[in-house]
Amino acid sequence: MSSAIVMPKVGLTMTEGKIVEWKKDVGQRVEKGEIVFVFETEKVSFDVDAAHSGFLFKIIVGEGETVPVGTEVAILADSPGGDAAAPEPAKAAPQVAVQSAAAAAAPVATTAGNSTKLRATPLARRIARSSGLDLAQVAAASPSTRLKKKDVESFLARSAAPAAPSPASSAAASAQGSDGRLVKRTSMREIIARKMLASTVEAAQAYMVVSVDAGNLVEARQRLMPSMEKQTGVRPTLTDLLAKIVAVAIARHPVVNTRWTPEGIVWLDAIHMGIATALEDGLVVPVISDIGAKKLSAISTERQNLVEQARAGKLLPEQMSGGTFTISSLGMFGVEEFSAIINQPESAILAVGAIIDTPVARDGAVVIRPMMKLTLTYDHRIIDGAKAAAFVGTLKEVIEEPLLALA
């Protein structure tokens, strides 16, 4: 008996997925729990495990294709040649637990039509096919147990008979140059590039910088830390305090909590705060929902849980959706000032720099104060300069007197 593999539904908001990579080739054995394919949503990519063991009989949806949730993408059979019986009908795709991955490892594949099973990546096989090359020749001349793109290209370079390079290998050679190396973009990097480029094109981004005395903010964190850690087991960070303070400022200036749409400007009631989180190979923005209604202890706990899930690759799409404003901080890296790109479809983003001891004038004297630079990037289609300045002014006021927000 054969069964259908379908595009799973991950979380509540997913409606379609794009096949990024098949981890198995047609005819290859698949063990239960083994990764079969990788797909991506608008936010992140996921690994999909086999529900039971079998052989990959047919791939219906190829790499690069996008299909709705529940669509049959492949057929898994009990034997390599399939089964005469029709595959079991696919049930409506439930929400499934799959593993989020920024980049999947290279798959192991089998060369069809060859009695000796050759292990090769899909890219290696594509280059070989376009060059009219038998992979068995490459395997015989290569020490690799799993053939990769570089093995095929090396064989072509050594071959006495010139072979026409594939478009992929030609592009790689051109990009790599004589003293560099080409690294394939991950799915996460593709998503980041697409969203950031779209943001710069779709929004009229303007910038505003303000210097803030962070002395009282640091002191407030130190005073709150013992009781909050005892209560929740989580130590509040400066980002937690800033997130709460930003929510207070947004509530006073609701124009910041808006979205531009073809029909008009949407004024949003709840504030859903995105916290830009750096991963080893990219960036995600988990969202703390309705942050204005939450206490600092709840914000700290939720922020830590989201960051831990992000670093473990377990965030669901809805945990990265619906944001209305984003905070991006690079202060921990010593960056004093930077500007961030708006996370569409939001209207603004706040870039937070490092706290630096700086000589400043106070009451006619020069004193050393812990200063921090904030840069607001805002969509000038919606937010005028005066409105942005008023928001930044409130932000500065509350940061310098944080008890106004934390009371």
Catalytic residue among 78, 134, 253, 380: 380
SS3 50: coil
CA dihedral 163, 167, 169, 172 (to 10 degrees): 150
Written as six digits, the tokens of 353 are 């720099």
* Catalytic residue check, 253: no
* Catalytic residue check, 384: yes
CB distance 75 to 54 below 8 Å: no
266: number of Cβ within 10 Å:
14
> Which residue from 272, 328, 313, 347 is spatially nearest to 188, judged by alpha carbons?
313
CB distance 395 to 349 below 8 Å: no
Written as six digits, the tokens of 306 are 């989201």
Q: Residue 342 burial (CB < 10 Å; 0-12/13-18/19+)?
A: buried
Cis peptide before 345 (omega within 30 of 0): yes
Give the Cα separation of 16 and 318 in Å (integer).
Answer: 14
Q: Per this entry, what is the length of the chain?
A: 407
Written as six digits, the tokens of 222 are 């130190």
Give the Cα separation of 83 and 62 in Å (integer).
Answer: 22
Catalytic annotation, residues: 380, 384
